[in-house]
Chain A
């Protein structure tokens, strides 16, 4: 079955970096773009952007430029989110989600289980 499995929780100090992985299985990885979504504690969902799994070209949403980097390793069907210069406000659960397109419409299905990144000194 189609599945996205993310790496485990991370506890980092302010100023450090973190790399979250999202391993896809059950489908051709390069046939579907991958998106990233952030959810701060007790808050709603926030779209971070997406990466073209064919070309590796990333697109970042407003507010997620500079410290956030999307990357791929297509040999292992895995997408990555790296966040540098971590701040306390980066504490959140980060989700990857495959986007499915049909007739000019797109939707996220499935989602990864989420990775909690906690930034604390």
Chain B
């Protein structure tokens, strides 16, 4: 079972800003960095944000990440139709001594 909690869904119209939360605890997000992955329909996950707020080369700057305490957030500004996907946060958990993923959030562009 996932120990990082995300809202199951989020939506917005093209151009809007959408924010996805990822809630954890002191043993995971509170102690370690957070990464975000985007999974387009029918494809493998892809790295979107690493080390809380870093964008890999090629990821548009409308995607941004932040972390505060035991929670993290992914923001998509200027939402586009191609952003329709599932988004997962992930962090190392010191208590479990393993990686934990968030429950996942499906983003729909209305």
Number of interface residues of B (CB under 8 A): 24
Asked, given contacts A45-B104, A47-B99, A47-B101, whether A107 binds B51 with beta carbons under 8 Å apart, the answer is yes
Q: Which residues of A contact B2 (CB under 8 A)?
A: 44
Q: Majority SS of interface residues in chain B?
A: strand
Q: List B26-55 residues whose CB lies under 8 Å from chain A.
A: 32-33, 35, 37, 43-47, 50-51
Q: Which residues of B contact A62 (CB under 8 A)?
A: 96, 98
Tell me how far the C-beta of B57 lies from the nearest C-beta in chain A, rounded to whole angstroms.
Answer: 11
Docked CA distance A93–B56 (Å): 25
Answer whether residue A15 sits at the interface, using C-beta atoms and an 8 A cutoff: no
Contact in complex: A95, B47 (CB < 8 Å): no
Answer whether residue A102 sits at the interface, using C-beta atoms and an 8 A cutoff: yes
Which residues in A have some Cβ–Cβ distance to B below 8 Å?
A: 35, 37, 44-47, 49, 61-62, 95, 97, 100, 102-114
29 contacts between A and B (CB under 8 A): A35-B99, A37-B45, A44-B102, A44-B103, A44-B104, A45-B37, A45-B101, A47-B100, A47-B101, A61-B98, A62-B96, A95-B45, A97-B45, A100-B50, A102-B51, A103-B51, A104-B33, A105-B33, A105-B50, A107-B35, A107-B50, A108-B35, A108-B47, A108-B90, A110-B46, A110-B47, A111-B44, A113-B43, A113-B44
